[in-house]
Homo-oligomer: A and B are copies of this chain.
Amino acid sequence: MERGHPCRLSAADRGPGTYAPAVRLDASNLSALARGCALLGAGGGGDPDVSLTMALRAVGEHGPVRLVAADDVAPDGLIMPCGLIGAPTVAIERVWNGDEGRMLRDAVETLQGRRVDAVMPYEIGGANGLLPVTWAARLGLPLVDADGMGRAFPEMQQQAMHLAGVPASPVVLTDGRGNVVVLRALDNVWAERLTRNAASGLGGVCAGALYCMTGARARDAVIAGSVSRAIGLGEAMASASRGGSVAVARALGATLLIEGKIIDVERYTDGGFVHGSATVEGILADAGRQLRLELQNEFLVALEEGAVRAAVPDVISVLTTHSGDPLVTELLRYGQRVSVITTPAPEVWRSAAGLAVVGPGAFGYRVGHPSLGAGGDG
């Protein structure tokens, strides 16, 4: 464990086996990235399907995207973390034109009075792990092999950069049509509040850049290796996918919580989030059991007979039984055959400070954490 770098992912965090970090993103690894992001999305971050198509087209037109370690960005180089912000139920109906990255970059450069040197996904989950690839390709900028969450989380203060003391402001948001909103918030919790509100005003979902920082600042503030890690996870999943969700879970070293079918889904979009729940009824060896998943953009907790079986910040993912492909919450339907699995939280979130920001208590659940022994009474 690299204790000297609390935000770095340990080798154990990187999932099954070891793999060399990718040096460029192109048609050879973007599908794996999309699959890994779907897993780490924990049901959120937006459906990666369309964004994978966009990324493939962008690298086809503009060439591969160079992947650089945060450590390799010049100390005074400016990194722009970015992605979509809003309710995935809206995002799935909205197609982006790919030019949002330029609008964000231009506004950030005007605000900062300097050039943006690299793009970074603020979360390595769902569409938000892919769209920054499209934007980087179109801008001719490298992508930083890192993110702020190590997965997807619903709120904008749920970032390693927040824990490290980097301000989210100035936050730049755009609807991609030409409307641009700049927020200078009192603190990062206000930044989330104003960002969420603005996303609603911009149509329910928007593109955003926030927590912009120098390479020097990023070194101890980001979760390093996230993009490579997602590719590695995606490759492992692809290799095992013929065996369906159980084989994929095994390949990932994940905990299989239940194998069954969805018997209830509830979703409502409110305040810039989608909230709801899904209930999975066990089949085969799990017959007679029921697992209830509660969600706010992402799956937050898995409950069985009142007991917490899994909880944030651990990653709860729902896989299609036959293919092992992860499902986003907005595509859950009655009758689907699925397996629910959980994988450990990125290291940075296992500290008391991390759990205060992303543990069950941060979402209003006053429950103990099944794997971390904390996070209740938050």
Contacts and interface: CB of A to CB of B under 8 A. Distances in A.
A211 B183 CA distance: 19
A309 interface: no
Contacts of A179: 183-186, 190, 194
Of listed A179, A190, A193, A198, residue having the most chain B CB within 10 A: A179
Contact of A181 (B177, B178, B183): B183
A75 B197 CA distance: 38
A172 B139 CA distance: 29
A180 interface: yes
A202 B198 contact: no
A335 interface: no
Contact of A198 (B180, B186, B197): B197
A359 to B, nearest CB: 26
Contacts of A184: 179-182
Q: How large is the interface on A (under 10, 10 to 19, 20 to 34, 35 or more residues)?
A: 10 to 19
A185 B181 CA distance: 8
Nearest to A186: B178
Contacts of A196: 201
Nearest to A178: B186
B182 A182 contact: yes
Contacts of A329: none
Contact of A194 (B186, B190, B193, B201): B201
A342 interface: no
Interface string A256-293: 00000000000000000000000000000000000000
A197 to B, nearest CB: 3
Contacts of A180: 183-184
Interface in A286-338: none
A198 B178 contact: no
Contacts of A183: 179-182
Contact of A177 (B186, B200, B201): B186
Interface in A154-193: 177-186, 190, 193
Nearest to A190: B179
B181 A182 contact: yes
A198 B181 contact: yes
12 contacts: A179-B194, A180-B183, A181-B182, A181-B183, A181-B194, A182-B183, A182-B184, A194-B201, A194-B202, A197-B197, A198-B201, A201-B201
Interface of A: 177-186, 190, 193-194, 196-198, 200-202
List 3 A-B pairs, minimum CB-CB distance, nearest first: A197-B201, A182-B182, A180-B184
